[in-house]
Amino acid sequence: KNIAWEGAISYLRNGESYIYEDLDTLYKYESQYSYIAVPLKIFFTYGDNVRLLVGGGIVPQMFTGFKQNIESKDSNNTIRREELKTKIGYNSFVASIACNIGVELNLVNSWSIIFQPEYRLQLMSSLDRNAAYKHRAYSIGGHIGFVFEL
């Protein structure tokens, strides 16, 4: 009665940004790593009409693409913008662990609405094994959705 599991297919996107600005120089970028994921989680639940959920699990992820928007300005105030999209040089599969704590509110019959913040930590590098450094993402996000209990 107090144990629940979650299995799903989801689309995940991790992002990062960087900015360096000086009197006559600007360099900034925003990167996005996209994945198709299959989160597998287990939860301890407490309550009836309002339920507290605490748990987590493993999130296998298949890489679908990398996108980066770059903007730079040189000493002549010339602004340069470019967009980079690639799948080359990245690990095709990574796994993360996820920790959740949330609230589920019963609505009618077997339907509920759920609010569930999540912390996710990537266990493997996003970059392929020949890269000069390791890239492991962490993210803070959440889920809002409807639940149907069988």
The predicted structure's pLDDT at residue 149 = 79
Mean pLDDT, residues 13-42 taken together: 94
Question: Is the pLDDT at 1 greater than 90, yes or no?
Answer: no
Residue 148 has pLDDT above 90, yes or no: no
The pair of three-digit structure tokens given for residue 60, joined into one six-digit string: 């296998």
Identify the bridge partners of residue 61 per DSSP, sorted by sequence position.
37, 94
pLDDT at 134: 92
Q: How far is Cα 111 from Cα 113, in angstroms, rounded to an integer?
A: 7
Give residue 75's pLDDT: 81
pLDDT tens digit string along 123-136?
999 999 889 989 99
Average pLDDT over residues 108-119: 92
Q: Determine contact, residues 131/88, Cβ cutoff 8 Å.
A: no
Which one-letter amino acid corresponds to residue 127? Answer: L
Q: What is the per-residue pLDDT across 17-26, written as a single tens digit (0 to 9) for each? A: 999 998 888 9
CB 11 within 8 A of CB 33: no
pTM: 0.83
Of 81, 78, 80, 75, the closest CA to residue 24 belongs to 75
Pair 58, 32: CB distance under 8 Å: no
134 residue type, one letter: K
